[in-house]
Amino acid sequence: MTDFFNQLVQLGVPLLLGAVTTIGITLASFSGAIILGLALALIRLLGLRLVNVLISGYVEVLRNTPVLAQLFIIYFSLPSLGIMIDPVPAAIIGLSLNGSAVLSEVFRSGLNAIHYGQREAALAVGMTPMKTFRYIILPQAFRIILPPLLNMLIILLKDTSICSLISTEELMLRAKDLAMMSFLPMHLFLLAGVIYFLLAWPLSIATRHLEKVMQRGRRQTFGT
C-alpha cells in the first residue's frame, strides 16, 4: 500500500502540469463561448429573419453533433484546405464554438425573461438603449444565467479530456502517455480522475448554491 501511494506522488507532478494545460484550455474556451454566445443572442434579439435562420442553423448543428466530430473537422480536415492549427488552439476553437451554441440559447432565454415593460420604462425616463441594456436588463438577466454558466464551465472542463484525441497535451493525454511508459494504468487514470473531480466538485457546489439563492430570490420577489 505504501508503494502504491509513493508511486502516485511520483506520477502526480507531470499530471499536474497536464492539469494546468487543462485549466488553461477550459478558461480560454469558456471565455470564447461567452463572448460568441452573447453576440449571437444579441443579434437574434434584433429580429432579422435571415440572420436568425442562419444563427439558428449554426446553433442546431453544433448542439446536435458530437464535440469530437467538431474537433476532428478543425484539426484533421481543415489542413486539406491549407489551414493548419496546432492542437491547443484547435481544442480552444472547437470547445468555444460548441459552448457558444449552448450559451447563445442560455443568454437569449435570460434576456427574454426580463419583462419588456422595464425596458420601456427606462427609455421613458430618458435612458439610452445602451444604458438600459447595461444597467437594467443585463444585471437582472445575469442572475438568471449565472447557474447555467457555471454548468457550462463544468461541461467544458470535462470535455477537455476529449481533446487528447487531437494530440492536445492536457491531463488525459499525459495520463495516457505515462501509463504506456510506466505500465501503471490504474495509478495514472485513478489519479487523473481524482484531479478532474477536485477541479469540478467546487464548481458543482457553487452551482447548486447559486441555484438555491436564485430560487429563494424569486420566491421572495413574488411573495410565495
Query: Of the candidates 8, 196, 165, which has an alpha carbon nearest to the alpha carbon of residue 176?
Result: 165
Q: Per-residue confidence at 211, pLDDT binned at 50, 70, 90? A: confident
Query: 107-120 pLDDT, tens per residue?
Result: 988 888 877 777 77
DSSP tag of 86 = -
Nearest 10 degrees: Cα torsion 199, 150, 24, 98: 120
Query: Of the candidates 165, 174, 166, which has an alpha carbon nearest to the alpha carbon of residue 22?
Result: 174
Percent of the chain predicted with pLDDT > 90? 50
- The domain covering 2-222 belongs, at the CATH homologous superfamily level, to MetI-like (1.10.3720.10)
Q: What is the pLDDT of residue 216?
A: 65
Residue 56 has pLDDT above 90, yes or no: yes
Q: What b/e readout covers 121-154, taking b as 16+ CB neighbours within 10 angstroms? A: ebeeeebeeeebbeebbbeebeebbbbbbbbbbb
Query: 147-169 pLDDT, tens per residue?
Result: 889 999 999 999 999 999 998 98
